[in-house]
Amino acid sequence: MATMLTHPQVWGAIDRLAARYGYSPSGLAKKAGLDPTSFNKSKRITPEGRPRWPSTESVAKVLQATGATIDEFISLLTKKERKPKRPVPLIGFAEAGSGGYFDDGGFPVGSGWDEIMFPNVDDDNAYALEVSGNSMEPLYRKGDILLVSPAAQIRKGDRVVVKTKDGEVLAKELKRKNAKAVELASLNPAHKDRNIPAADILWIARIVWASQ
């Protein structure tokens, strides 16, 4: 009985090939002369919800850029390959509220960061925040580590980190976002939801993993 390739298998092979040669998916796309966002996970499904497959031209360019053979790529269609750990910047929530750690887009900058080793990090600008206090219980507790991706696409229902122009740093669930305001649901039922004017928000980024 013939076995057909699946959409997750093909994209998984590209992810594993990228990891094998020391690239993130976006880094591999750039190395192959493609748009750096070509292999982003947010682009693997169309806005209409249909699977978007990589083109044969894209695969050929990736093989040429890495020097991998087609047999190697085929072997990665079903093989699970662990991504090597790499250092990710780490600070606490208290430090995140002060200046000098982020640019206006929410990307980590400057010195003073600690480092923590993380596997499976596709965003080269990802960073980690250590939870302090109990304002995010019971979902996140003191000492939990949140991995934040400033480049990740944000949708309703995502858990996000928000920094206001006043220096307040919040971890909430996104309820609604438009040109006028951002509505945030509190993770702790003891704390009220927030409705913050868009003009008062410096940046917003998605939480992609937590060490619960």
Structural domains of the chain ordered from first start: 7-75 (1.10.260), 86-210 (2.10.109.10)
Q: How far apart are CA 111 and CA 113, in angstroms?
A: 6
Continuous segment of H or E residues that includes residue 65: helix 56-66
Residue 151, token pair as written in the block: 């480049």
Q: What is the pLDDT of residues 47-62, one digit of tens each?
A: 888 899 999 999 999 9
Q: Which residue has the higher pLDDT, 119 or 25?
A: 25
Please tell me which of 84-98, 102-116, 196-210 the model is most confident about, judged by mean pLDDT: 196-210
Handedness of CA 97, 181, 47, 56 (dihedral sign): negative
pLDDT of 198 strictly over 70 = yes
pLDDT of 175 strictly over 70 = yes
pLDDT value at residue 80:
59
